[in-house]
Amino acid sequence: MKIGCPTEIKPQEFRVGLTPSAAMEAVNNGHEVIVQTGAGVGAGFNDADYEAAGAKIIATAKEIFDAADMIVKVKEPQAGERKMLREGQLLFTYLHLAPDPEQTKDLLASGATCIAYETVTDRNGGLPLLAPMSEVAGRLAPQVGAWTLQKANGGRGVLMGGVPGVGPARVMVIGGGVVGTHAARIAAGMGADVTVLDRSLGRLRYLDDIYGGVFKTSYASAQNTIELAREADMIIGAVLIPGAAAPKLISRAQLSELKPGAALVDVAIDQGGCFETSKATTHQDPVYEVDGIMHYCVANMPGAVARTSTIALGNATMPFMLALANKGWKKACADDPHLKAGLNVHAGKLTYAAVGEALKMDFISADDAIKG
């Protein structure tokens, strides 16, 4: 199979879909790998690294899209990229279709087969291709939140760890999954007073067991949420429903109850955000203010630490990418129900129920797509 990796064109996106290491694995499996010139520069990989791995360097994205059987990317294809997709081509990348009807329509119109990193599952019910980026985004959230809290950036002017005689920042993390756990660990490591909220008592028991002395836990009822929010200097939104739009946990009306200059960090912004007032921002202009509350809603947080993110993502996607290349998408998905869960679009039809329900569009099952 011919595997193509174009340069990411979304603003401030420095990651790359294939590492030289992944390219070498694909070449060693008998596949041809073509990479757009400069694709890896943002993550610290130059063209020579790819050539040493056995890949061929190509000048333009159009040549990559025209020649490749499978396109491997990081971010969802932008409008110009979607026009270059063709019927029968395989796209393997993050899609986040639920809050994005325009992209969904374009992918359906292309006739391509699209497998989304964020809906591939594992035997424990986890999301193994989202987990590495969730780990990165979670660990990054208190770091950017601490920056947002600085007075010069519009925040309350509160130091995360306080100093002797002055209490630390109060950090509230909504969601105790991968993002929330990593966010809470780092925030606590910075010396903050941290509480994690979740609706799963089993998860809260686990967190209390493992991190009982590091941060506190609370049940995520509406009452607990707003009571803790009123006292918080920083609120990290870390709630994700696989493939669906994130629930809105703090309304615009409730902003007036928060401390002036408090920082909201919305890690769920890729799925529409979990605060009513969230809107996607970029690394160039990450923070905005609504009713005196600072919002950090960068849509691709892991892109800020592109090298760490690219290597972490490459480690996770590699076995799936090789399975798709070695077997073709139909057999690879038929053999592995977890990879099959990643199938979102095939030949003009939606194949993922949560996306169809979110966008009120018709969909078929992945099994029907494979049989078809």
Domain ranges in the chain are 2-119+306-371, 131-299
Measured distance CA(9)–CA(14) in Å, rounded:
9
Residue of 340, 341, 345 whose CA lies nearest to 109:
345
Structure tokens at 304: 């800020």
Among 185, 105, 101, 71, residue whose Cα is nearest residue 138:
185
Q: What is the pLDDT of residue 267?
A: 96
CB atoms within 10 A of CB 92: 26
Q: DSSP letter for 220, please.
A: -
91 touches 114 (CB < 8 A): yes
For residue 208, the tally of other CB atoms under 10 A from its CB is 14
The distance from CA 318 to its chain's CA centroid, rounded to whole angstroms, is: 17
Task: Tell which residue, 280, 320, 222, 271, has the closest CA to residue 25.
Answer: 320
Tell me the whole-structure pTM to 2 decimals.
0.85
Please name which of 130, 291, 299, 160 lies closest in space to residue 233, comparing C-alpha atoms. 160
Token digits of residue 293? 């509350």
Q: What is the CATH number of domain 131-299?
A: 3.40.50.720
DSSP E strand stretches across 267-359? 287-290, 293-296, 343-346, 349-350
Question: What is the token pair recorded at 113?
Answer: 């087969």
In contact, 255 and 293? CB cutoff 8 Å = yes
Within the chain, which residues score under 70 in pLDDT? Answer: 242-243
In the block, residue with structure tokens 């790819």: 50
242-301 residue pLDDT tens: 667 888 999 999 999 999 999 999 999 988 899 999 999 998 899 999 999 999 999 889
d(CA 342, CA 161): 41
Given a contact cutoff of 8 angstroms between Cβ atoms, the answer to whether 134 and 178 are in contact is yes
Helix residue ranges, H only, 97-221: 101-110, 131-149, 178-189, 201-211
The pLDDT assigned to 243 comes to: 66
How does DSSP assign 55-67, residue by residue? -EEES-HHHHHHH
Q: How far apart are CA 258 and CA 59, in angstroms?
A: 51
Is the Cβ–Cβ distance between 1 and 323 less than 8 Å? no
- Residues 121, 341 contacting (CB under 8 angstroms): yes
349-350 β-sheet, strand order: 56-58, 32-36, 2-5, 70-72, 90-93, 113-116, 343-346, 349-350
CATH H-level superfamily of 2-119+306-371: NAD(P)-binding Rossmann-like Domain (3.40.50.720)
* Both tokens assigned to 183: 């966010």
Side-chain-side CA neighbours of residue 149 (13 Å): 28
Whole-number Cα distances in Å, 91 to 46, 111, 225 = 24, 11, 39
One fold for 2-119+306-371 and 131-299: yes
The Cα–Cα gap between 208 and 212 comes to 4
Q: Which helix (H) or strand (E) holds 5?
A: strand 2-5
The position carrying tokens 């955000």 is 273
Distances in Å between the Cα of 354 and the Cα atoms of 109, 341, 343, 361 are: 20, 11, 12, 10
Give the separation between CA 356 and CA 16, rounded to whole angstroms. Answer: 29
Tokens, residue 49: 């690294």
**Kind plus residue range of the DSSP H or E element containing 195:** strand 193-198
Q: Would you name the residues annotated as active-site residues?
A: 96, 270
